[in-house]
Amino acid sequence: MTPETVAVAVFLFTYALVVSEKIHRAVAAMFGASVILFLKIVPWENIPKYLDLNTLFLLMGMMIIVNTARNSGLFEYVAIKTAKLAHGSPIRVLLLFSIVTAVISSVLDNVTTVLLLTPMLLYISRLMELSPIPFLLSEIFASNIGGTATLIGDPPNIMIGSAAKLSFNEFLINMGPIAAIDLGVTILIIYLAYNNALKVTPKKKVMIIQTLRGLDEKAAIRDIRLFRKSVAIILFVVALFFLHDRLGIEPAVVALFGASLILLWTREDPEGIFEKIEWPALFFFGGLFIIVGALEETGTIAKVAEWVLTHVHTQGEALLVITWFSAFSSAIVDNIPLTAAMIPLIKHMGASMNVYPLWWALSLGACLGGNGTAIGASANVVVIGIAEREDVRITFVDFLKVGMIIMIITVAIGVGILWIRYVGW
């Protein structure tokens, strides 16, 4: 068995384990990476080359900031405030929660965002005596779309930004407008698809307003000083992200600086916060970097890139192929291993064409592709999982019917914008 065959076999085997979910994805990735290192397919001294510390530390820093801020009740406060602003109107609930979800997801990770907002959405739908399905679907799509908008919104973007040295502002300029248009279109589609399910009587509306008025958003704040400090630090970190390329510092440094600052300023128990870091996610990433590194080390990625280049001749063709391939693949399998495999491929393609637009194509496909199926993205799984626990069933087919349409339309809009910007009319 050649090292190349082993690298491909380990990659496919790990992929299969991740897809089947028979064992934890972090364990699958760790095991694959261990095999690669044990067989010396990736020599020990080459680990720093493949282990993307920028991605790992950026994720870690943001996890520390989010977990510290969470202790203050900040996110529950936002959820109640949003619910109250809706004034008992289902359409406003749909609109406001979608926008809030997208905005929070563009800065924080999608899973945390939906974990914190879904209980509130279920509560309001129960109050309105309406089916929560349109609201939950809209939340899922908004979360994935919001994550597309920034460098720190979704793990694939963090990986792409780190590999291609793209700044926060470049992401915002290239992906922000696409995400904003896609969000508007998605809310409109949900509204049209579920129009009849979004109505309440005027009497019911008054009752909803009264019940929501009884909710005190300030009661959600567990520690007002921590709340204020958390808001200040999050705003400061976001501001630093805007400036990181001008200051010449890596996004990971911004996140770690913010993380250390929030721990220093708030005096929260660091042990408790460090325990809440999603270590399985970080080990999953680490393992994947090594497994994909093996494909690079053995020249497999270079061969695939050569093959792609013999069939794809222009930048426009490459843009379309990468976008739609990554979109449909992300709808079926986890977008993180997909992005990890696509990054070196695009890097290799850089030898014969300008790959700058292709990074955006990958980001677009990998992030928005998740909307296609119920298992396409972590946010989908979390929201559907919570809904199931609350006796609200969203079947695979139910999701597919709406999700696939949303995915195709939003990706088409995105690819259209990228085409106009980088390929021309």
Q: By the criterion CB under 8 A, which residues form the site for other proteins?
A: 21, 24-26, 73, 76, 111-112, 115-116, 119-120, 123, 126-127, 203, 206-207, 210-211, 213-216, 219-220, 222, 278, 280, 374-375, 378, 381-382, 384-386, 388-389, 395-396
Q: Nearer Cβ to other proteins, position 111 or 164?
A: 111
> How far apart are CB 29 and other proteins at their closest, in Å?
12
3-state secondary structure 189-229: HHHHHCHHHCCCCHHHHHHHHHHHHCCCHHHHCCCHHHHHH
Q: How far is the CB of 401 from other proteins (least distance, A)?
A: 14
- Give min distance, CB of 296 to other proteins, in A: 27
Structure tokens at 49: 């080359």
258 contacts 65 by C-beta, under 8 angstroms:
yes
Min separation Cβ 217 and other proteins, Å: 9
The one-letter amino acid at 416: G
Query: Which residues are within 8 A (CB) of 274 and not within 5 positions of it... i.e. 6 or more apart?
Result: 64
Shortest Å, Cβ 119 to other proteins = 5
Residue closer to other proteins by CB (options 77, 360) is: 77
In the complex, least distance from residue 61 CB atom to other proteins, rounded to whole angstroms:
18
Amino acid at 62: M
Min. distance of Cβ 214 from other proteins in angstroms? 8
CA distance 1 to 4: 8
In whole angstroms, how close is the CB of 96 to other proteins at the nearest point?
A: 18
Closer residue to other proteins (CB): 280 or 299: 280
Report how far residue 268's alpha carbon sits from residue 404's, in angstroms, rounded to the nearest whole number.
Answer: 43
CB closer to other proteins out of 100 and 411? 100
- In the complex with other proteins, which residue's Cβ is closer, 202 or 424? 202
Least Cα distance to 65 among 246, 277, 217, 221 occurs for 277
**Of residues 153 and 357, the one with the C-beta less far from other proteins:** 153
Phi-psi region of 129 (alpha: psi -120 to 50; beta: other; left: phi over 0): left
Phi-psi region of 87 (alpha: psi -120 to 50; beta: other; left: phi over 0): left
Residue among 51 and 115 whose Cβ is closer to other proteins: 115
Please work out, in degrees rounded to the nearest 5, the angle formed at the alpha carbon of residue 206 by the alpha carbons of 205 and 210: 115
Contacts of 77 (CB under 8 A, 6+ apart): 217, 218, 220, 221, 227
Least Cα distance to 411 among 338, 314, 329, 297 occurs for 329
Choose between 203 and 246: whose C-beta lies nearer to other proteins: 203
**Category of 24 on φ-ψ map: left (φ > 0), alpha (ψ -120 to 50) or beta:** beta
- For other proteins, the closer of residues 213 and 225 by Cβ is 213
Backbone CA torsion sign across 98, 100, 102, 104: negative
Burial zone of 235 (CB within 10 Å; 0-12 exposed, 13-18 middle, 19+ buried): exposed
Closest separation between CB of residue 323 and other proteins, Å? 26
Nearer to other proteins, 40 or 203 (CB): 203
Minimum distance of other proteins from residue 10's CB (angstroms): 21
